[in-house]
Structure 1
Protein backbone atom coordinates (compact mmCIF):
# COMPACT_ATOMS: atom_id res chain seq x y z
CA UNK A 1 0.00 0.00 0.00
CA UNK A 2 2.81 2.53 0.59
CA UNK A 3 3.69 2.28 -3.12
CA UNK A 4 0.12 3.10 -4.12
CA UNK A 5 0.08 6.04 -1.72
CA UNK A 6 3.33 7.34 -3.19
CA UNK A 7 1.92 6.84 -6.69
CA UNK A 8 -1.20 8.84 -5.77
CA UNK A 9 0.84 11.60 -4.13
CA UNK A 10 3.06 11.95 -7.20
CA UNK A 11 -0.02 12.32 -9.39
CA UNK A 12 -1.46 14.91 -7.03
CA UNK A 13 1.81 16.83 -7.01
CA UNK A 14 2.07 16.89 -10.81
CA UNK A 15 -1.57 17.95 -11.07
CA UNK A 16 -1.12 20.65 -8.43
CA UNK A 17 1.97 22.08 -10.13
CA UNK A 18 0.83 21.84 -13.77
CA UNK A 19 -2.97 21.93 -14.15
CA UNK A 20 -3.69 25.37 -12.57
CA UNK A 21 -1.12 27.01 -14.87
CA UNK A 22 -2.57 25.55 -18.08
CA UNK A 23 -4.52 27.86 -20.39
CA UNK A 24 -8.27 27.67 -20.96
CA UNK A 25 -10.67 25.03 -19.72
CA UNK A 26 -10.22 22.14 -22.13
CA UNK A 27 -6.47 21.67 -21.76
CA UNK A 28 -6.56 21.48 -17.94
CA UNK A 29 -9.50 19.06 -18.16
CA UNK A 30 -7.64 16.82 -20.61
CA UNK A 31 -4.46 16.79 -18.50
CA UNK A 32 -6.49 16.08 -15.36
CA UNK A 33 -8.24 13.20 -17.11
CA UNK A 34 -4.88 11.83 -18.24
CA UNK A 35 -3.53 12.02 -14.70
CA UNK A 36 -6.58 10.20 -13.35
CA UNK A 37 -6.29 7.55 -16.06
CA UNK A 38 -2.62 7.06 -15.24
CA UNK A 39 -3.38 6.83 -11.54
CA UNK A 40 -5.87 4.04 -12.18
CA UNK A 41 -4.25 2.24 -15.12
CA UNK A 42 -0.76 1.68 -13.75
CA UNK A 43 -1.90 -0.60 -10.91
CA UNK A 44 -3.88 -2.54 -13.52
CA UNK A 45 -0.62 -3.34 -15.29
CA UNK A 46 0.31 -5.43 -12.27
CA UNK A 47 -3.07 -6.63 -11.03
CA UNK A 48 -4.69 -7.16 -14.41
CA UNK A 49 -2.87 -10.44 -15.01
CA UNK A 50 -4.03 -12.10 -11.81
CA UNK A 51 -7.00 -13.81 -13.31
CA UNK A 52 -9.72 -13.73 -15.87
CA UNK A 53 -9.44 -13.63 -19.62
CA UNK A 54 -5.83 -13.53 -20.81
CA UNK A 55 -6.46 -11.16 -23.73
CA UNK A 56 -8.28 -8.70 -21.49
CA UNK A 57 -5.53 -8.97 -18.89
CA UNK A 58 -2.89 -8.29 -21.54
CA UNK A 59 -4.79 -5.21 -22.70
CA UNK A 60 -4.98 -3.89 -19.14
CA UNK A 61 -1.28 -4.56 -18.73
CA UNK A 62 -0.48 -2.80 -22.00
CA UNK A 63 -2.54 0.24 -20.99
CA UNK A 64 -0.96 0.30 -17.54
CA UNK A 65 2.58 0.03 -18.88
CA UNK A 66 1.88 2.78 -21.39
CA UNK A 67 0.47 4.97 -18.61
CA UNK A 68 3.57 4.31 -16.52
CA UNK A 69 5.75 5.21 -19.47
CA UNK A 70 3.78 8.42 -19.94
CA UNK A 71 3.91 9.41 -16.30
CA UNK A 72 7.66 8.92 -15.90
CA UNK A 73 8.69 11.85 -18.12
CA UNK A 74 5.81 13.87 -16.70
CA UNK A 75 7.35 13.61 -13.22
CA UNK A 76 10.83 14.46 -14.45
CA UNK A 77 9.67 17.38 -16.59
CA UNK A 78 7.53 18.75 -13.77
CA UNK A 79 10.51 18.59 -11.44
CA UNK A 80 12.73 20.32 -14.01
CA UNK A 81 10.06 22.99 -14.44
CA UNK A 82 9.93 23.50 -10.69
CA UNK A 83 13.69 23.95 -10.57
CA UNK A 84 13.97 26.13 -13.67
CA UNK A 85 10.90 28.34 -13.40
CA UNK A 86 12.14 30.48 -10.48
CA UNK A 87 15.37 31.13 -12.35
CA UNK A 88 13.48 32.02 -15.53
CA UNK A 89 11.17 34.35 -13.59
CA UNK A 90 14.19 36.03 -12.03
CA UNK A 91 15.85 36.47 -15.43
CA UNK A 92 12.66 37.70 -17.16
CA UNK A 93 10.35 39.11 -14.46
CA UNK A 94 8.18 40.89 -17.01
CA UNK A 95 7.32 37.54 -18.62
CA UNK A 96 6.53 35.66 -15.41
CA UNK A 97 2.93 34.82 -16.33
CA UNK A 98 3.81 33.75 -19.85
CA UNK A 99 6.67 31.60 -18.57
CA UNK A 100 4.37 29.91 -16.08
CA UNK A 101 1.76 29.08 -18.71
CA UNK A 102 4.23 28.12 -21.45
CA UNK A 103 6.25 25.85 -19.19
CA UNK A 104 3.12 24.17 -17.82
CA UNK A 105 1.90 23.58 -21.37
CA UNK A 106 5.30 22.27 -22.47
CA UNK A 107 5.43 19.60 -19.75
CA UNK A 108 2.55 17.39 -21.01
CA UNK A 109 3.40 18.09 -24.66
CA UNK A 110 7.03 17.05 -24.22
CA UNK A 111 5.95 14.07 -22.17
CA UNK A 112 3.62 12.96 -24.97
CA UNK A 113 6.44 13.37 -27.49
CA UNK A 114 8.77 11.24 -25.36
CA UNK A 115 6.09 8.56 -25.05
CA UNK A 116 5.46 8.50 -28.79
CA UNK A 117 9.19 8.25 -29.45
CA UNK A 118 9.50 5.48 -26.86
CA UNK A 119 6.58 3.46 -28.21
CA UNK A 120 7.91 3.64 -31.77
CA UNK A 121 11.38 2.67 -30.60
CA UNK A 122 10.13 -0.16 -28.41
CA UNK A 123 8.04 -1.69 -31.18
CA UNK A 124 10.93 -1.88 -33.64
CA UNK A 125 13.14 -4.93 -33.78
CA UNK A 126 16.27 -4.27 -31.79
CA UNK A 127 19.16 -2.79 -33.73
CA UNK A 128 22.30 -4.80 -34.32
CA UNK A 129 25.50 -3.15 -33.17
CA UNK A 130 28.77 -4.66 -34.28
CA UNK A 131 31.41 -4.23 -31.58
CA UNK A 132 34.96 -5.47 -31.98
CA UNK A 133 36.67 -6.27 -28.69
CA UNK A 134 40.44 -6.44 -29.09
CA UNK A 135 42.00 -8.90 -26.66
CA UNK A 136 45.77 -9.05 -26.42
CA UNK A 137 47.15 -12.57 -26.52
CA UNK A 138 43.92 -14.15 -27.77
CA UNK A 139 44.64 -17.66 -29.07
CA UNK A 140 44.48 -17.98 -32.85
CA UNK A 141 41.63 -20.49 -32.54
CA UNK A 142 39.44 -17.76 -31.04
CA UNK A 143 40.27 -15.03 -33.56
CA UNK A 144 37.02 -13.93 -35.20
CA UNK A 145 34.89 -15.67 -32.56
CA UNK A 146 31.54 -13.89 -32.56
CA UNK A 147 29.09 -13.51 -29.71
CA UNK A 148 25.60 -12.10 -29.99
CA UNK A 149 24.38 -10.56 -26.76
CA UNK A 150 20.63 -10.11 -26.27
CA UNK A 151 19.21 -8.24 -23.31
CA UNK A 152 15.98 -6.90 -21.85
CA UNK A 153 13.43 -8.38 -24.21
CA UNK A 154 10.67 -8.37 -21.56
CA UNK A 155 8.44 -11.01 -23.12
CA UNK A 156 5.00 -10.75 -21.56
CA UNK A 157 1.82 -8.75 -21.92
CA UNK A 158 3.34 -6.17 -24.27
CA UNK A 159 5.97 -8.22 -26.12
CA UNK A 160 4.71 -11.31 -27.92
CA UNK A 161 5.97 -14.13 -30.12
CA UNK A 162 6.24 -12.14 -33.41
CA UNK A 163 8.64 -9.65 -31.81
CA UNK A 164 10.74 -12.41 -30.28
CA UNK A 165 10.75 -14.31 -33.57
CA UNK A 166 12.05 -11.22 -35.37
CA UNK A 167 14.93 -11.07 -32.88
CA UNK A 168 15.65 -14.79 -33.29
CA UNK A 169 15.68 -14.38 -37.07
CA UNK A 170 18.06 -11.41 -36.84
CA UNK A 171 20.39 -13.37 -34.54
CA UNK A 172 20.33 -16.41 -36.83
CA UNK A 173 21.24 -14.26 -39.85
CA UNK A 174 24.38 -13.17 -37.99
CA UNK A 175 25.50 -16.80 -37.59
CA UNK A 176 27.27 -16.20 -34.27
CA UNK A 177 29.56 -18.68 -32.55
CA UNK A 178 27.72 -18.09 -29.26
CA UNK A 179 24.65 -16.29 -27.98
CA UNK A 180 24.63 -14.62 -24.56
CA UNK A 181 21.19 -13.84 -23.16
CA UNK A 182 21.32 -11.27 -20.38
CA UNK A 183 18.97 -8.89 -18.64
CA UNK A 184 15.23 -9.09 -18.17
CA UNK A 185 13.82 -11.68 -20.53
CA UNK A 186 10.34 -12.05 -19.08
CA UNK A 187 7.69 -9.77 -17.61
CA UNK A 188 5.38 -11.87 -15.50
CA UNK A 189 5.42 -15.61 -14.94
CA UNK A 190 7.12 -17.93 -17.38
CA UNK A 191 4.23 -20.42 -17.16
CA UNK A 192 1.89 -17.82 -18.61
CA UNK A 193 3.99 -17.28 -21.73
CA UNK A 194 3.28 -20.54 -23.54
CA UNK A 195 0.92 -18.85 -26.00
CA UNK A 196 3.01 -15.68 -26.26
Structure 2
Protein backbone atom coordinates (compact mmCIF):
# COMPACT_ATOMS: atom_id res chain seq x y z
CA UNK A 1 0.00 0.00 0.00
CA UNK A 2 1.33 3.45 -0.92
CA UNK A 3 1.32 6.10 1.79
CA UNK A 4 0.44 9.35 0.05
CA UNK A 5 2.59 12.42 0.60
CA UNK A 6 -0.17 14.33 2.32
CA UNK A 7 -0.03 11.70 5.07
CA UNK A 8 3.72 12.15 5.42
CA UNK A 9 3.66 15.96 5.33
CA UNK A 10 0.32 17.12 6.80
CA UNK A 11 1.13 20.86 6.67
CA UNK A 12 2.99 22.15 3.57
CA UNK A 13 6.03 24.35 4.21
CA UNK A 14 6.58 25.43 0.62
CA UNK A 15 6.28 29.15 1.35
CA UNK A 16 8.92 28.80 4.08
CA UNK A 17 11.22 27.08 1.61
CA UNK A 18 10.68 29.80 -0.97
CA UNK A 19 11.49 32.49 1.57
CA UNK A 20 14.98 30.97 1.99
CA UNK A 21 17.57 32.18 4.44
CA UNK A 22 17.86 35.73 5.67
CA UNK A 23 21.28 36.04 4.04
CA UNK A 24 21.71 34.39 0.64
CA UNK A 25 25.02 32.65 -0.15
CA UNK A 26 27.03 33.90 -3.13
CA UNK A 27 25.84 33.03 -6.65
CA UNK A 28 27.92 30.61 -8.76
CA UNK A 29 29.38 33.49 -10.80
CA UNK A 30 31.12 35.00 -7.73
CA UNK A 31 34.80 34.93 -8.77
CA UNK A 32 35.91 34.57 -5.11
CA UNK A 33 34.71 30.95 -5.27
CA UNK A 34 36.78 30.05 -8.32
CA UNK A 35 38.36 26.59 -8.26
CA UNK A 36 39.73 24.34 -10.98
CA UNK A 37 37.42 21.46 -11.86
CA UNK A 38 39.97 18.68 -11.31
CA UNK A 39 41.08 20.17 -7.98
CA UNK A 40 37.50 20.45 -6.74
CA UNK A 41 36.60 16.92 -7.87
CA UNK A 42 39.59 15.48 -6.05
CA UNK A 43 38.87 17.49 -2.90
CA UNK A 44 35.18 16.58 -2.72
CA UNK A 45 35.68 12.94 -3.66
CA UNK A 46 37.66 12.69 -0.41
CA UNK A 47 34.83 14.33 1.58
CA UNK A 48 33.09 11.27 2.98
CA UNK A 49 31.60 12.56 6.22
CA UNK A 50 29.09 15.41 6.30
CA UNK A 51 25.76 16.61 7.62
CA UNK A 52 23.19 18.97 6.13
CA UNK A 53 20.33 20.84 7.77
CA UNK A 54 17.71 22.55 5.66
CA UNK A 55 14.41 22.06 3.88
CA UNK A 56 13.19 19.79 1.12
CA UNK A 57 10.14 20.24 -1.10
CA UNK A 58 8.48 17.68 -3.38
CA UNK A 59 6.53 19.33 -6.19
CA UNK A 60 4.30 17.42 -8.60
CA UNK A 61 1.44 18.44 -10.86
CA UNK A 62 -1.25 17.90 -8.22
CA UNK A 63 0.58 18.41 -4.92
CA UNK A 64 3.32 20.36 -3.17
CA UNK A 65 4.73 19.12 0.11
CA UNK A 66 7.80 19.96 2.14
CA UNK A 67 9.57 19.33 5.44
CA UNK A 68 12.67 20.13 7.43
CA UNK A 69 15.66 18.01 6.46
CA UNK A 70 18.40 16.56 8.68
CA UNK A 71 20.77 14.21 6.86
CA UNK A 72 24.02 12.75 8.22
CA UNK A 73 26.25 10.65 5.92
CA UNK A 74 29.59 8.93 6.34
CA UNK A 75 31.70 6.48 4.35
CA UNK A 76 34.83 4.75 5.64
CA UNK A 77 38.01 3.75 3.79
CA UNK A 78 36.46 0.35 2.99
CA UNK A 79 33.51 2.07 1.26
CA UNK A 80 31.12 1.04 4.03
CA UNK A 81 28.42 3.70 4.34
CA UNK A 82 26.17 4.79 7.17
CA UNK A 83 23.50 7.44 7.03
CA UNK A 84 20.67 8.87 9.06
CA UNK A 85 17.89 10.96 7.55
CA UNK A 86 15.00 12.71 9.28
CA UNK A 87 12.15 14.64 7.67
CA UNK A 88 10.25 16.71 10.20
CA UNK A 89 6.85 18.39 9.94
CA UNK A 90 5.76 21.49 11.89
CA UNK A 91 5.81 21.31 15.69
CA UNK A 92 8.79 18.97 15.50
CA UNK A 93 6.80 15.91 14.41
CA UNK A 94 9.12 13.36 12.78
CA UNK A 95 7.30 11.96 9.76
CA UNK A 96 10.11 9.91 8.22
CA UNK A 97 13.21 8.44 9.82
CA UNK A 98 15.85 6.47 7.91
CA UNK A 99 18.88 4.62 9.21
CA UNK A 100 21.20 2.84 6.78
CA UNK A 101 24.23 0.70 7.55
CA UNK A 102 26.25 -0.62 4.61
CA UNK A 103 23.29 -1.27 2.31
CA UNK A 104 20.77 -2.33 4.95
CA UNK A 105 18.00 0.23 5.34
CA UNK A 106 15.41 0.73 8.07
CA UNK A 107 12.71 3.29 7.30
CA UNK A 108 10.25 4.38 9.99
CA UNK A 109 6.96 6.01 8.94
CA UNK A 110 3.98 6.63 11.24
CA UNK A 111 5.55 4.47 13.95
CA UNK A 112 5.99 1.45 11.64
CA UNK A 113 9.38 0.08 10.58
CA UNK A 114 10.17 -1.18 7.09
CA UNK A 115 13.36 -3.03 6.11
CA UNK A 116 14.97 -3.43 2.69
CA UNK A 117 18.30 -3.57 0.86
CA UNK A 118 16.77 -1.54 -2.01
CA UNK A 119 16.13 1.94 -0.64
CA UNK A 120 14.76 3.35 -3.91
CA UNK A 121 12.12 0.60 -4.08
CA UNK A 122 11.28 0.93 -0.38
CA UNK A 123 10.67 4.69 -0.63
CA UNK A 124 8.60 4.23 -3.77
CA UNK A 125 6.42 1.56 -2.12
CA UNK A 126 5.70 3.87 0.83
CA UNK A 127 5.39 7.26 -0.85
CA UNK A 128 4.99 6.74 -4.59
CA UNK A 129 8.12 8.84 -5.16
CA UNK A 130 10.97 7.80 -7.45
CA UNK A 131 14.14 9.05 -5.74
CA UNK A 132 17.80 8.64 -6.80
CA UNK A 133 18.97 7.70 -3.33
CA UNK A 134 22.28 6.10 -4.31
CA UNK A 135 23.29 9.07 -6.46
CA UNK A 136 22.23 11.91 -4.17
CA UNK A 137 25.28 11.77 -1.90
CA UNK A 138 27.40 12.44 -5.02
CA UNK A 139 25.10 14.91 -6.74
CA UNK A 140 24.80 17.13 -3.66
CA UNK A 141 28.57 17.59 -3.79
CA UNK A 142 28.40 18.39 -7.50
CA UNK A 143 30.05 15.10 -8.49
CA UNK A 144 29.06 12.55 -11.12
CA UNK A 145 27.66 9.28 -9.75
CA UNK A 146 27.74 7.37 -13.04
CA UNK A 147 30.65 7.64 -15.50
CA UNK A 148 28.23 8.92 -18.14
CA UNK A 149 26.78 11.70 -15.94
CA UNK A 150 27.27 15.06 -17.64
CA UNK A 151 28.19 18.26 -15.81
CA UNK A 152 28.25 21.84 -17.07
CA UNK A 153 30.27 24.51 -15.26
CA UNK A 154 30.12 28.25 -14.62
CA UNK A 155 32.47 30.11 -16.99
CA UNK A 156 33.99 32.20 -14.17
CA UNK A 157 34.15 29.98 -11.07
CA UNK A 158 34.31 26.59 -12.84
CA UNK A 159 31.76 25.33 -10.29
CA UNK A 160 28.96 22.98 -11.42
CA UNK A 161 25.74 24.64 -12.56
CA UNK A 162 23.93 21.60 -13.98
CA UNK A 163 24.18 17.82 -13.98
CA UNK A 164 22.23 15.37 -16.13
CA UNK A 165 22.10 11.64 -15.53
CA UNK A 166 20.36 8.54 -16.86
CA UNK A 167 19.90 7.00 -13.42
CA UNK A 168 17.90 3.74 -13.42
CA UNK A 169 16.96 4.46 -17.05
CA UNK A 170 15.27 7.72 -16.10
CA UNK A 171 16.58 11.13 -17.11
CA UNK A 172 17.44 13.30 -14.11
CA UNK A 173 18.58 16.92 -14.02
CA UNK A 174 20.22 18.73 -11.08
CA UNK A 175 20.63 22.51 -11.06
CA UNK A 176 23.00 24.19 -8.59
CA UNK A 177 21.93 27.74 -7.77
CA UNK A 178 24.07 28.99 -4.88
CA UNK A 179 27.45 28.19 -3.35
CA UNK A 180 29.30 28.97 -0.16
CA UNK A 181 32.73 28.23 1.23
CA UNK A 182 32.63 25.61 4.03
CA UNK A 183 36.02 24.69 5.51
CA UNK A 184 37.65 25.49 2.15
CA UNK A 185 35.12 23.30 0.31
CA UNK A 186 32.90 25.01 -2.27
CA UNK A 187 29.46 23.51 -1.69
CA UNK A 188 26.09 24.31 -3.19
CA UNK A 189 23.26 25.34 -0.87
CA UNK A 190 20.32 25.34 -3.26
CA UNK A 191 19.33 22.51 -5.61
CA UNK A 192 16.53 21.76 -8.05
CA UNK A 193 16.31 18.07 -8.98
CA UNK A 194 13.95 17.17 -11.81
CA UNK A 195 12.69 13.88 -13.23
CA UNK A 196 9.66 13.96 -15.55
CA UNK A 197 6.88 15.72 -13.57
CA UNK A 198 8.65 15.47 -10.20
CA UNK A 199 10.64 18.44 -8.90
CA UNK A 200 12.64 18.17 -5.69
CA UNK A 201 13.94 21.41 -4.21
CA UNK A 202 16.55 21.34 -1.48
CA UNK A 203 17.67 24.38 0.50
CA UNK A 204 20.69 23.75 2.73
CA UNK A 205 20.85 26.13 5.68
CA UNK A 206 23.99 24.52 7.11
CA UNK A 207 26.69 22.16 5.92
CA UNK A 208 28.76 20.49 8.68
CA UNK A 209 31.91 18.65 7.62
Structure 1-normalised TM-score?
A: 0.21
Q: Which has the higher strand share?
A: 2
Structure 2-normalised TM-score?
A: 0.20
Q: Which has the higher helix share?
A: 1
Greater relative contact order (Cα 8 A, min sep 6): structure 1 or 2?
Answer: 2
